[in-house]
Structure 1
């Protein structure tokens, strides 16, 4: 692909150049320095390298130093401004500039989280509106550098073979900008880099459009203009300071470019009383006028922190906190519970998180050997299932049993989806399936008693039919299976709880409406209704066009992600649906919930998950459900291949080695909350239990818009999140008296995140016992203790970093 290197026409003494509605050409081009594009109206397509970005009104985008790009308006009313900042000027004030990469794209953040970019807009507008532009330019540069830049991991920004040639040229261009004051030559660079000088000369002219010597002179002239306009010094000093060999060569260069001598050039711009930017018409733009009028505190630029003061009376009237998070925990397939490692993990988890139900699927899977064939025919074997149920009873956990999948001997087709090959087809004979279910139910009742089993849940199949994933039959075949099975179980005892497969929202076919209508019209029992909620969604059109394997390789499934309020939207949708289509009083349960069901998504391992869980469990919409079951307790999940790395993106709260993730402590903190809420806000909740006080503050940041559309991030990168600020909460509690023991837990990337520590250790795949124990110990949040005697007021300042959680427990001492 052909690129051209263009020169930005900076005016003498001015470090910036502004253009309005100028696209240069539709060819990809590069230039030195930074370029910030701000779209006022219309639509704009900006291509950077291989990526197209579609800008809409008020979007900002930054082009990096020598980054190939083009700008193409997409509507007649398109109006935008481009601010160029000279690389020589930037380097003068920041010697790290050539080792930095900026990532400023305002459309990565949602519309309700634009604060970091609004600061850019304000500084940009102030720069445009003021004549003393150097001060304003430095403020803008300082902010975007501190907020949006990272050091390059390699001096070559792009190592693809197709761009290797320009990577070499860019190193030469950067070398020129660094050493133009000296006697830098192409021969010298060729010797240092072990290249043929003729080869470098050819590719330089091919990519830049001028010779090395001409480009070097252009850079020297650019620098000299700063000195010419801003320093009262001799022309000779300016010439020598800019890299020219003498005054004569400098005179010639300036004369050739401007048709003026250096002194005439200086005088010309002084007489014109140039105000620095010459932004004709730009200050009249409504957006610039609006942002220029907004106040901007210095702290917003320097600290990247949002402060707020919270004053609450602990004696204020409160309301009951509905704790939906500690009801159900998913473990995947039933045979997982035959694994001693998972049993140990669940037992330890039970000590810190008061789980009530353990949900599992696949009780009829082949590996549990539930159907045996001998000379007398078929018989049912519940030995392994009973072992699992006995274990849950030992831990005082109630089973939430999903009756699935179809035993191979009873299956009508050989269809499966998951790694453990659970058959997803309808039965060949309904009577065979019903005899299996009846035998299982009677086994449970005879072994544990009807009163006990009546407290359990029995879900008939896993998910509603969609694209043949969990059920390869028709929707009508599933309706019949549910009807016959539910009537059978209720015929054994009306006290037994039954419910259908979960709504999965894969299609727009209104499966829930049809199922609820079917149950109502045919008097089919329904004690609870459920759905599964994830923020990832399969791009079914793309996926179904590919050849399928069995079991499915999850890495080949194309995903995209839903908006941050997706869980809230679906909870409210299901609440309305049940009120409208099923008047009877039934329980609504979210059987499986997580950010994603993709067991290779690294976000599951990160500190992000703790705030994601807390934010959603405390949202008002969570109260629509009786319970929300997290997927899953552990990364030991037999639905998919278990990877060799200790952290591979598994959905569990605990990894395969038993190391607790940040997500685990979200449930620990939630479980510490009291039963009465006396204060709640966007990033915090305050509860009490008796005279004890609990405060939970968190800083939740969601993945950015590019990631949500299916962009795959580099592994282990936190760069895929929206730009956000740390929080500084000044808390003042009133009417609190007595002596308290104060515990403060801190969970963030530096405290309690085993994943982040594993990254710092070097991401080693095969951990020994010592290394595993080290990560287990470091995975706990930090803890501070102190004793307080309070006489009415309690003051606390909490710094909560992005992805951070602070949990404060005030337990009262009694004399």
Structure 2
């Protein structure tokens, strides 16, 4: 058993994790990080490759990245572990990740005793600073981390060819077996699988592993699965059966058997003991007992400052201007029509309209059974009821939102088969009778015109649902359905705006169909997410392979587990390809909408809650606002039920408002963008400058930081509830603007959204990341997580220079307003 108290999971932009553990059983580790282990009390046994070390109080050992090691103890202990993402420091020191270090207090001699005492003092001081968290502790912690890295580089680097952990052929075999197990432990693993992977006899592998590791291979596999299950057991509310199966055990019985063999108790009892011990464990350590040495100031230990981007721009305020098409606020989106009947979602819509104000709102599922639109009597005659539809649209118009209605999904009594997507079962089958479908569409449109008037309804948008095209290879059947739906709407009122969502991979087929049928759409909608399938599969193949979870239910989001986050310009490139294709084929389209866009359409993508999404949002808006008529970020609220919901407040929901109304960074980004003027003075990759009729100037800048790994898997296990920023290549940015053509007295206002300001998730971390929050805690976070705002008066005479430093993922608005004296 082990008890873990996590103290800090990042220090500024430096990906560092610091925690205290108590180890009571053997645990195996293989991590791509620098690991420093300091024994606070008790005794532990560390095995590293073919060597064993017994460490006692105040001993320190360093584990190099990707080296297998284990920690075992039979006595009460407390160890302090510092994990450092070594790849981050490649930006500061050339080829840092190629260095090998040796630091082990058991191997200290007279020649390096002072260096050892020095780095030990820094390590202890870092722990003290991070536990006490006094004012400015992050700055001090950052300095101490840099001190540790400097000392390692200058005093503890060893030659890889001579290091004490050089791996012989046998060790490589053990490492390969262990890496295979750690990669595939969730799957069914047999000795035959491993032997095929190693190209060795299975009986030989079994004997060899037991001899080298002192544990049978099957027992090792079970221990790895057990170790991985512990986090889910103690930190989540998942059912034990689910935890067992998710971590590779064939059934609950085998999980209980291994659990009792190792821990001598049931999983439930373990969890209760763990939670009680965590409450009793205090992190108020007595640092005075440690023999701290004065940290010497080594002038030769030099390291470059934290990495920074540097950008400088000249903005001529008298240059020609262009009109700003604010496509990003033309359309809002939420999930399905039935969600719009819920009062909590309506309250959020009211708030959004008050703070931001959109023109249209898009949703799907207007014909789903929850809306009670369609039914049939005992003789099979169609019956219509538009009560819920009216109630929803009345509300939207009341708050000045015009409907953007997707015509779907199929009512069950009209469906030809039971074929569903999403957890709430949206039926995507074709109608059993196209005539009945056409009559439904005509009756629906006629009702809207009768109730709201033809002139009003002509300002709305009607989008033909495209989900059928994803799951049917009979494209002609879908195109027939599309033509019939289009014709049914136009037959009632030819001036109504109707269009469809076209996927880039099927665009050639769509274009040929429209030309053959001489259909002129009023608009085309695009959906684009910044992800790509793993391997050679395309997105349609991926959905068909992994979207199916039962014979009659398809969950689109399941395929995301088999995708990677795309490169940072992916969304812009997708939009460009789409528009260029339409232009090349001379398709007469009046308006283009992006009706869904985001990093992923997942309801459990933990990056959705972070500051990263603020800079991601602004980056893609600035790059694409002038290419399309409207851009709908999918989706505005975490009240969204396409997949199973989570109990965690910051569970990675799609929206820019949480279920309980906490505003995320994108919400405040919308508000800052609302302050932009109507005319563009200048636009570059990382900012836009605008001007209003009163000659006020607005500069919206951002510091976008992409992933360190250019092939980062979606739903990656190393992105956790409390540790989400370490996957980014975070750099500060110095940005400079030289404003020409401005003079006189002005008011300069600066707004910032970053981890310290405007990020409710980061504020949640600062108060201890509680799973459940009382009303006063919710209100505290709502009040604390507002963007930063500063204002000052300036008298300008000549060129006006603005120099600002931006944190990773930061969005900043600079507003300059001339003061008119009467």
Compute the TM-score of the two structures, normalised by the length of structure 2: 0.63
Against the structure 1 CA distance between its residues 84 and 440, is the aligned structure 2 distance closer, same or farther, given a 3 Å change threshold? same
What is the CA-CA distance between 1:701 and the residue it aligns to?
Answer: 0.8
| 1:302 counterpart = 2:305 | yes
What is the CA-CA distance between 1:353 and the residue it aligns to?
Answer: 1.7
- Which shows bigger deviation, 448-457 or 711-720? 711-720
Say if 1:404 and 1:460, in contact at 8 Å, map to a contact too. yes
Say if 2:101 and 2:156, in contact at 8 Å, map to a contact too. no
Say if 2:62 and 2:102, in contact at 8 Å, map to a contact too. yes
| 1:379 counterpart = 2:373 | no
Against the structure 1 CA distance between its residues 362 and 588, is the aligned structure 2 distance closer, same or farther, given a 3 Å change threshold? same
Against the structure 1 CA distance between its residues 598 and 490, is the aligned structure 2 distance closer, same or farther, given a 3 Å change threshold? same
The count of residues paired between Structure 1 and Structure 2 equals: 571
Matches within 5 A, 1:515-534: 515-534=510-529
- Which shows bigger deviation, 379-388 or 320-329? 320-329
What is the CA-CA distance between 1:426 and the residue it aligns to?
Answer: 0.2
- SS of residue matched to 1:598: coil
Q: Deviations over 1:444-475 (max 9, x none)?
A: 11111111111111111144622x2xxx5732
What is the rounded CA distance, in whole Å, between the counterparts of 1:337 and 1:566 in structure 2?
A: 32
| 1:767 counterpart = 2:767 | no
What is the CA-CA distance between 1:398 and the residue it aligns to?
Answer: 1.3
Against the structure 1 CA distance between its residues 138 and 314, is the aligned structure 2 distance closer, same or farther, given a 3 Å change threshold? farther
| 1:663 counterpart = 2:688 | no
Against the structure 1 CA distance between its residues 545 and 309, is the aligned structure 2 distance closer, same or farther, given a 3 Å change threshold? closer
What is the CA-CA distance between 1:695 and the residue it aligns to?
Answer: 1.2
What is the CA-CA distance between 1:698 and the residue it aligns to?
Answer: 1.1
1:423 matched to which residue of 2?
427
What is the rounded CA distance, in whole Å, between the counterparts of 1:605 and 1:81 in structure 2?
A: 30
What is the rounded CA distance, in whole Å, between the counterparts of 1:805 and 1:138 in structure 2?
A: 37
What is the CA-CA distance between 1:658 and the residue it aligns to?
Answer: 0.6
What is the CA-CA distance between 1:317 and the residue it aligns to?
Answer: 2.5
What is the CA-CA distance between 1:483 and the residue it aligns to?
Answer: 0.4
Q: 2:100 aligns with which of 84, 93, 98?
A: 84
Unaligned runs of 5+ residues in structure 2 are 1-25, 31-47, 53-60, 70-81, 87-94, 127-149, 158-177, 180-209, 216-300, 535-540
1:704 matched to which residue of 2?
708
Say if 1:701 and 1:721, in contact at 8 Å, map to a contact too. no
What is the CA-CA distance between 1:356 and the residue it aligns to?
Answer: 1.3
Q: Deviations over 1:60-117 (max 9, x none)?
A: xxx999x9xxxxxxxxxxx99964344366745532687899xxxxxxxxxxxxxxxx
What is the CA-CA distance between 1:137 and the residue it aligns to?
Answer: 4.7
- SS of residue matched to 1:650: coil
Against the structure 1 CA distance between its residues 34 and 684, is the aligned structure 2 distance closer, same or farther, given a 3 Å change threshold? farther
Q: 1:567 aligns with which of 571, 579, 586?
A: 571
Q: Deviations over 1:647-681 (max 9, x none)?
A: 11110010101110001122222222112222333
2:584 matched to which residue of 1?
580
Say if 1:305 and 1:727, in contact at 8 Å, map to a contact too. yes
| 1:489 counterpart = 2:489 | yes
| 1:439 counterpart = 2:455 | no
Say if 2:520 and 2:588, in contact at 8 Å, map to a contact too. no
Say if 1:413 and 1:425, in contact at 8 Å, map to a contact too. yes
Point out the structure with max Rg over C-alpha.
1
Unaligned runs of 5+ residues in structure 1 are 6-26, 37-46, 51-62, 68-78, 102-133, 142-161, 164-201, 208-297
| 1:346 counterpart = 2:349 | yes
2:508 matched to which residue of 1?
513
Q: 2:325 aligns with which of 322, 325, 340?
A: 322
Say if 1:335 and 1:368, in contact at 8 Å, map to a contact too. yes
What is the CA-CA distance between 1:592 and the residue it aligns to?
Answer: 0.4
Say if 2:542 and 2:559, in contact at 8 Å, map to a contact too. no
- SS of residue matched to 1:355: coil
What is the rounded CA distance, in whole Å, between the counterparts of 2:121 and 2:797 in structure 1?
A: 52
What is the rounded CA distance, in whole Å, between the counterparts of 1:682 and 1:672 in structure 2?
A: 20
1:231 matched to which residue of 2?
none
- Which shows bigger deviation, 742-751 or 427-436? 742-751
| 1:613 counterpart = 2:608 | no
What is the rounded CA distance, in whole Å, between the counterparts of 2:213 and 2:459 in structure 1?
A: 80
What is the CA-CA distance between 1:391 and the residue it aligns to?
Answer: 1.1
1:123 matched to which residue of 2?
none
What is the CA-CA distance between 1:814 and the residue it aligns to?
Answer: 2.4
1:784 matched to which residue of 2?
790
Q: 2:604 aligns with which of 597, 600, 604?
A: 600
What is the rounded CA distance, in whole Å, between the counterparts of 1:741 and 1:779 in structure 2?
A: 25
- SS of residue matched to 1:697: strand
Against the structure 1 CA distance between its residues 140 and 387, is the aligned structure 2 distance closer, same or farther, given a 3 Å change threshold? farther
What is the rounded CA distance, in whole Å, between the counterparts of 2:515 and 2:50 in structure 1?
A: 65
What is the rounded CA distance, in whole Å, between the counterparts of 1:348 and 1:368 in structure 2?
A: 24
Say if 1:35 and 1:64, in contact at 8 Å, map to a contact too. no
Compute the TM-score of the two structures, normalised by the length of structure 1: 0.64
Against the structure 1 CA distance between its residues 203 and 95, is the aligned structure 2 distance closer, same or farther, given a 3 Å change threshold? farther
1:713 matched to which residue of 2?
718
2:72 matched to which residue of 1?
none
Say if 1:299 and 1:305, in contact at 8 Å, map to a contact too. no
What is the CA-CA distance between 1:803 and the residue it aligns to?
Answer: 1.1
What is the rounded CA distance, in whole Å, between the counterparts of 1:656 and 1:575 in structure 2?
A: 36
Say if 1:464 and 1:501, in contact at 8 Å, map to a contact too. no
What is the rounded CA distance, in whole Å, between the counterparts of 1:205 and 1:447 in structure 2?
A: 77
